[in-house]
Chain A
Amino acid sequence: MELVIKDLRANIGDKEILKGVNLTVKPGTIHAIMGPNGSGKSTLSNTIMGHPSYTVTGGEVWYKGHNILELEVDERAKLGLFLAFQYPVSIPGVTVANFMRAAVNAHRAEEGKDPRQTAIPMAQFRKEIREKMAALGIDEAFARRYLNEGFSGGEKKRIEILQMSMLKPSMAVMDETDSGLDIDALKVVSQGVNTLLQANPEMGVLVITHYQRLLNYIKPNVVSVMMEGRIVREGGPELALELEERGYDFIREEVFGNGN
């Protein structure tokens, strides 16, 4: 199913950040959003997921027959949306394993059914998480550690991808996943995403990034450029390369003129 964003407007406090975003992310595609700092990229991803600090002032976001702006955050997740955070929080006292199990079970829960019936059997959960941790090069000991507490930037991002591969979303938003990653970590993380894509070819991925670098590893089908709270340009993978070469200024000039 497509994720369709129509004329989305959002504020932080009194400040308008998203000024009418229109965007469609198709299933089975990797859709990159590139843009300079402050263009509203992270606001877009947080607004799609429902972060409480952002106030939606207009527009709609349609997914699987719902205007998801009307849904609770956890309901959006259960619909198949996933946000890989730019800055994952640490949660003291909650282990990676317990957190993952709660998330998996929340996805398996069905209305009117005893959660104990729908919960993933412990052995199956252990096997699955162990395999996925191994594939992402995460030491097994991390399962017993408190979520993200004392983790390095690269470890946090791997844990994000681990969660993504356990929850198997149908639409994933990756918010600046490359920030704070060295090249080796970037390769591992990208490979994790690509493996997931191979297994779930219908998954849509919205990759939000400032730099072209990540797109060498997660190859986009569509590239949109965001500036000043709007999508100002859409193209194929070649657009990302052009941006890498020429910077954002040439688009800024084309869109807003020389005067600013």
Chain B
Amino acid sequence: MATKLPALVTLNASDLAFAGEPQWLQQMRQSAWHTYNEMPMPWWRRTDLTAFAAGDMQLTYGASAGQVQGVAPAGVVVMPLTQAVQVHGDIVQKYLGSAVAATTTKFTALNAATWHDGWFVYVPKNTSVELPLHVIQGFGESNTLVSRNLIVLERGAQLSLVEQYAGSGTIALVVSEYILGDGATLTLAGMQTWDAGVRHMGHQIAHVGNDATINWTAIHLGGTHQHIEAETNLAGNGSRVDWTAATLASDGQRLLTAPWLRHAGRATEAHMDFKTVVKGTGYTTFDGMIKIEGGSTETITRLEEHALHLTPQARSDSIPGLKIDTNNVQKAGHASTSGEVDEEHLFYMQARGIPRDVAVHMIVMGFFETVLDRIPVEAVRDQVTTTIAARI
């Protein structure tokens, strides 16, 4: 059963002393709560913070509204994080908060103090999970979802994971941490397919070890507001990311994605390809940054981001950035486009008898195809494709 906590605006530190939680976690919560109260609200130009007002949040504790599909082989752990702190406390303690620090923003502090749901996935060293796992997080009985996913791949581990947020509710404050040990490979499809009305605040960081690889596909379709800050930290030497995203914003949706790509190790390689479609009064922001740290040499990095506008009122803002603190970059490239469906493409397809509306549909689906193609579970891929097709 979910227990309602006092309204956030009247919540006290003592309300977060949940019975049965280990001492270290209680301390983490208290410290994060302190940070939350001390930190000012962030100043964000493109995210409407009134959609994430404290007065609208009603926190709960004690019920999990998650599901998992797929079977984890022996030794691999998939369980709600609240349970994992009891069963695998030592591993959780080691990694929880190691990628996304409570002090990042006021919202990550609130999350670290009050989280009540989310997933723990753990793949031991040199273990390959053959079949993809699919964890789904919803609101359940909560009005406000505060969840954390902690995904840990030890050295040489391999996993395909679909991490999905779905269902109806109001405000979701979610954090994901992906820890990839040396030589690990994570194929990740992170999707938000919320029902209309949900306001999504997400912070995600992948910490990639030596010679480790993350193939990350992000799908952003649902809710009315989205503010996602996602970082790939190529900390290890020879680490790699192949990072793609598909965002679709229709009438009334304001979806912001702020991907950070940090090259810190030597000889790291990154390919980013972010695709956005806006229609109706939909509005998206791509606020991306590639940072090549001083010690990162022989870096290869490429960022592509493309936006298609299906209606004149639809808007997309693109703010790509590149900061290089080293003299030794092997390759750094950037390409960006934004505009309507190409009339030459439409003419070509219509010249083959395909009606204009069908042609537009095919072109838009084709635009997303290279991203959707990377979702590791066929049923999920089909479902997402169908959802998008119905909305275009």
Contact = CB atoms under 8 A, between A and B. Distances in A.
Given A102-B354, A163-B352, A73 B347 contact: yes
Return the 7 tightest CB-CB contacts between A and B, nearest first: A93-B366, A93-B369, A73-B350, A77-B353, A103-B352, A106-B353, A94-B366
B367 A77 contact: no
Contacts of A88: 348
A83 interface: yes
Interface of B: 342-345, 347-356, 358-359, 362-363, 365-370
B366 A91 contact: yes
Contacts of A146: 366
A167 interface: yes
A78 B353 contact: yes
Interface in A7-26: none
Nearest to B372: A93
A85 B350 contact: no
A175 to B, nearest CB: 11
A52 B347 contact: yes
Given A52-B343, A91-B366, A92-B366, A74 B356 contact: yes
A125 interface: no
A128 to B, nearest CB: 16
A106 B348 contact: no
Contacts of B353: 74, 77-78, 103, 106-107, 167
Contacts of B344: 89
B370 A91 contact: no
Interface string A68-98: 0000111011100011010011011110001
Given A102-B358, A106-B352, A146-B366, 15 more contacts: A50-B347, A73-B356, A74-B350, A76-B351, A77-B351, A77-B353, A85-B351, A89-B342, A92-B369, A93-B370, A98-B362, A103-B349, A103-B354, A106-B353, A107-B353
A146 to B, nearest CB: 7
Nearest to A73: B350
22 contacts: A49-B347, A50-B350, A52-B343, A72-B356, A74-B351, A76-B351, A77-B352, A78-B353, A85-B348, A89-B345, A93-B366, A93-B368, A93-B370, A94-B363, A94-B366, A99-B352, A99-B362, A102-B352, A102-B362, A106-B358, A146-B366, A163-B352
A106 B350 CA distance: 10
Contacts of B350: 50, 72-74, 77
Nearest to B363: A91
Contacts of A52: 343, 347
A71 to B, nearest CB: 11
Contacts of A93: 365-370
A107 B358 CA distance: 13
A49 B348 CA distance: 10
Contacts of B369: 92-94
A49 B369 CA distance: 29
A107 B351 CA distance: 11
A51 interface: yes
Contacts of A83: 351
Contacts of A85: 348, 351
B366 A106 contact: no
Contacts of A74: 350-356, 359
Contacts of B356: 72-74
Nearest to B350: A73
B183 to A, nearest CB: 32
Contacts of B368: 93
Nearest to B369: A93
A92 B370 contact: yes
A82 B356 CA distance: 17
B343 A89 contact: no
Nearest to B355: A74
Contacts of A91: 345, 348-349, 362-363, 366
A167 B352 CA distance: 8
